[in-house]
Structure 1
Amino acid sequence: MLNKSTILSVLLVFIPISLAAEYLEWGATVVFITAGLAIVPLAALMGKATEEIAVVVGPNLGGLLNATFGNATELILALVALKEGLIGVVKATITGSIIGNLLLVVGFSMLLGGLRYKEQTFQSVAARLNSSSMNLAVAAILLPTAVQYTSSGIEERTLQHLSVAVAIVLILVYALTLLFSMKTHAYLYEVGVAVEEESEEEQENINVTKWVLILLLITLGVAFESELLVNSLEEATDSLGLSTLFTGVILLPIIGNAAEHATAVTVAMKNKMDLSMSVAVGSSLQIALFVAPVLVIVGWLLGQPMDLNFNPFELVAVSVAVLLTNSISSDGRSNWLEGTLLLATYAVIGIAFYFHPVVEGIG
């Protein structure tokens, strides 16, 4: 029977295939598909390396390390797209990552976990705190768009400066959430106690230098494959009959987060719903409060017009995802029907993005 490790090992073969596709000019579509598949096992290995290093450096620094590299694949992918000037794709990836984590991952976790266990529980206090943070994130990306649509003749430069100011506030909030979850109120987020107990016995057997080098090599690999993916994106999506909006919102987030998604669903099926919610919702928070603001600031420094003025349809989809997930998770209980509702919502949103006409400025 195929397990997660076997599948990831098989997917590693797409790294040399994607290189061959690029240098032998097999076509943009082949490069796009093979590079996307190659990123999946690299993202999983990045997570593995981070976990091994975290065991040695301790829970506090380890938690920060996990938080920093949790969405590193998506950040690298977005930075490459930003460098190429694909601002619309970057924004679509941000909203798609939030929607995917909240609806697709949490949905599958609740569905498959609920089919095995009639009802599962998780920390309702932590869920409500995460809900409040997500509400702030939605407001932060909604307001610059509202300014754009309620002001006549606002300059792009002014909008970017507004977005940079908002981005700084969000990064400060993200730092405070890390302090809250890892230091002052860590007891609300104790979902990895068993791992920490085992770490004392395993610590001596872990070669930190080896895993740091592996992490650096994987990061370079992800950056290279992301370059291939982004460079072939426009031509490939045209040949596949997909809009770059749909690709950015649906396909790219799934590619960048596939390994993390699998982890969240796997632990839910082991009745560890606290950990599953921590992975999925925590990833959404990190995208909204850290990755998106970093991309805005980097875009400003690179002279790219990256701001928080999103496509209104994307904002509607994010708002629906946050509202429904907050509503379902607020009681700290889950079942298979709630998971089905989240997945159905994701399916409807995905269909809507598929049929959404190409918007000027996307890609």
Structure 2
Amino acid sequence: MSVKNIIFIGLLVFVPISMAGHFLQWGSLTIFITACLGIIPLAAWMGIATEEIAVVVGPNLGGLLNATFGNATELIIALVALNAGFVSVVKASITGSIISNLLLVLGFSMLLGGLRYKQQEFPPIVARLNASAMNLAAIAILLPTAVDVTSSGIEETRMQQLSSGVAIVLILVYGLTLLFSMKTHAYLCEVGEAQQEDEDPTHTPKPNTLLWTGVLLVCTLLVALESELLVDSLEEATSMLGLTALFTGVIVVPIIGNAAEHATAVTVAMKNKMDLSVSVAVGSSLQIALFVAPVLVLAGWVLGQPMDLNFNPFELVAVTVSVLIANSVSSDGRSDWLEGTLLLATYLILGLAFYFHPAIPGIG
């Protein structure tokens, strides 16, 4: 058993601890921290269960399953927070997830992979396609804010209508990217699969579908429960820590929701599978921008919450910077430890800027 899996198993103890803390009223800060730690291994086991089921159902349905549950943890946390009325945190978590995947995950992958291997390669054509899709996503989330800033002010209902229209377009684009990667141009995404088959030529028995489906359902339910605990304690805990809604949403929430994916991307990069690492990092950002964000906009309309794509302008500056530098670094299909360091340095600078941004402390 790998060290990563041992750590994830050990962190499962925080699931019952956080629940006990809620019933015994141990305090918001304790519940918040233990719920955060409890969500991390649950997200990891959701990912493992999804991958095991995908092996049985085949590449097309398996790919769709992976795409659907790839960011399920973040979506569940965001839906719970949205239902509780923490719209600013939800918006910040969207931009934060894009930033953390493009800079933190990809940066650590390139750094640690580059320290072990002098230079790593991945298909440049896939990198360019991802860059184009990421550019579209960045433009789509920029425009509603640009409409608001460049006008005398737009009514909330009109902004929600505009955001809903953009959301529908983005979901359609997301569906087309799945069709492209799984059907019409699936051969472009088969490199990582082929490498895995070469490394393990021995026949292995098929996973128990019923078992892993049960694991997936149980973990999903527990993530929802832990998310409730996290959101219930969010306002008081972040106020005690002196954190703003902006910093909490952009930095704290994405790191919690993405921890399992972060570990996976770094692990495969250190095995010289940089194509898989880039696929995890950039693919997750695309999924957030093209699927999760639009779903949350439409969910806000259903729940009666003012969720739209009118973001804090500074968040959009950070997303634009992240997209530009990530596209620049990955465009040649090669990576090394210095490029990873540059991505991490950018993330650190943005993190400091968000921490010192003069927003109102607490969640409100």
Measured against the shorter chain, the TM-score band is over 0.9
- 2:336 is aligned with 1:335: yes
SS of the residue 2:298 aligns to: helix
SS of the residue 1:118 aligns to: coil
Match of 1:177 in 2: 177
Match of 1:53 in 2: 53
Q: C-alpha separation between the residues in 1 aligned to 2:210 and 2:204? A: 15
Q: C-alpha separation between the residues in 1 aligned to 2:301 and 2:194? A: 41
In the alignment, residue 100 of structure 1 is paired with which amino acid? S
Match of 2:232 in 1: 231
Match of 1:126 in 2: 126
Let me know the Cα RMSD of the aligned residues. 1.7
In the alignment, residue 71 of structure 2 is paired with which amino acid? N
1:217-255 CA-partner distances (Å, limit 9, x unpaired): 110000000010011111000111111211110011010
- Aligned runs of 1:114-153 on 2, under 5 Å? 114-153=114-153
Q: C-alpha separation between the residues in 2 aligned to 1:152 and 1:53? A: 52
In the alignment, residue 57 of structure 2 is paired with which amino acid? V
Match of 1:248 in 2: 249
Match of 1:6 in 2: 6
Q: C-alpha separation between the residues in 2 aligned to 1:148 and 1:285? A: 24
The aligned length equals 362
Q: C-alpha separation between the residues in 2 aligned to 1:361 and 1:20? A: 25
- 2:43 is aligned with 1:63: no
User: Contact between 1:300 and 1:306, CA under 8 Å: does it hold in 2?
Assistant: yes
CA distance change for structure 1 residues 159 and 360 in 2, over 3 Å: closer, same or farther?
Answer: farther
CA distance change for structure 1 residues 307 and 203 in 2, over 3 Å: closer, same or farther?
Answer: farther
1:136-193 CA-partner distances (Å, limit 9, x unpaired): 0010000000011112131100000000000000000000000101111111111223
Q: C-alpha separation between the residues in 1 aligned to 2:363 and 2:241? A: 17
In the alignment, residue 145 of structure 1 is paired with which amino acid? T
User: Contact between 2:167 and 2:294, CA under 8 Å: does it hold in 1?
Assistant: yes
- Aligned runs of 1:139-288 on 2, under 5 Å? 139-190=139-190, 191-195=192-196, 201-204=203-206, 206-288=207-289
User: Contact between 2:87 and 2:306, CA under 8 Å: does it hold in 1?
Assistant: yes
CA distance change for structure 1 residues 101 and 265 in 2, over 3 Å: closer, same or farther?
Answer: same
Q: C-alpha separation between the residues in 2 aligned to 1:304 and 1:199? A: 52
In the alignment, residue 169 of structure 2 is paired with which amino acid? V
Q: C-alpha separation between the residues in 2 aligned to 1:310 and 1:241? A: 22
In the alignment, residue 353 of structure 2 is paired with which amino acid? A
In the alignment, residue 155 of structure 2 is paired with which amino acid? E
User: Contact between 1:121 and 1:332, CA under 8 Å: does it hold in 2?
Assistant: yes
Q: Percent identity?
A: 73
User: Contact between 2:245 and 2:361, CA under 8 Å: does it hold in 1?
Assistant: no
- Aligned runs of 1:278-357 on 2, under 5 Å? 278-357=279-358
Deviation of the 1:199 alpha carbon: 10
User: Contact between 1:174 and 1:289, CA under 8 Å: does it hold in 2?
Assistant: yes
Match of 1:41 in 2: 41
User: Contact between 2:100 and 2:347, CA under 8 Å: does it hold in 1?
Assistant: yes
User: Contact between 1:55 and 1:203, CA under 8 Å: does it hold in 2?
Assistant: no
User: Contact between 1:87 and 1:362, CA under 8 Å: does it hold in 2?
Assistant: no
In the alignment, residue 288 of structure 2 is paired with which amino acid? I
Deviation of the 1:200 alpha carbon: 9.8
In the alignment, residue 81 of structure 1 is paired with which amino acid? A
In the alignment, residue 340 of structure 2 is paired with which amino acid? G
Q: C-alpha separation between the residues in 2 aligned to 1:100 and 1:185? A: 28
Where does structure 1 lack aligned partners over 5 or more consecutive residues? none
SS of the residue 2:358 aligns to: coil
Deviation of the 1:288 alpha carbon: 0.2
User: Contact between 1:88 and 1:361, CA under 8 Å: does it hold in 2?
Assistant: no
Q: C-alpha separation between the residues in 2 aligned to 1:322 and 1:200? A: 41
User: Contact between 1:56 and 1:203, CA under 8 Å: does it hold in 2?
Assistant: no
1:317-363 CA-partner distances (Å, limit 9, x unpaired): 00000000000100001010000000000000000000011259964
User: Contact between 1:59 and 1:196, CA under 8 Å: does it hold in 2?
Assistant: no
In the alignment, residue 168 of structure 2 is paired with which amino acid? I
Q: Which has the higher mean CA deviation after the structures are superposed, 193-202 or 218-227?
A: 193-202
User: Contact between 2:120 and 2:274, CA under 8 Å: does it hold in 1?
Assistant: yes
- 2:95 is aligned with 1:101: no
CA distance change for structure 1 residues 239 and 149 in 2, over 3 Å: closer, same or farther?
Answer: same
SS of the residue 1:192 aligns to: helix
CA distance change for structure 1 residues 195 and 247 in 2, over 3 Å: closer, same or farther?
Answer: same
Q: C-alpha separation between the residues in 1 aligned to 2:31 and 2:351? A: 24
Q: C-alpha separation between the residues in 2 aligned to 1:176 and 1:359? A: 40
In the alignment, residue 303 of structure 2 is paired with which amino acid? L
In the alignment, residue 289 of structure 1 is paired with which amino acid? L
Q: C-alpha separation between the residues in 2 aligned to 1:119 and 1:359? A: 44
Deviation of the 1:201 alpha carbon: 3.8
Q: C-alpha separation between the residues in 2 aligned to 1:199 and 1:92? A: 44
Deviation of the 1:194 alpha carbon: 4.5
TM-score, reference length from structure 1: 0.97
Where does structure 2 lack aligned partners over 5 or more consecutive residues? none
CA distance change for structure 1 residues 280 and 199 in 2, over 3 Å: closer, same or farther?
Answer: farther
Match of 2:112 in 1: 112
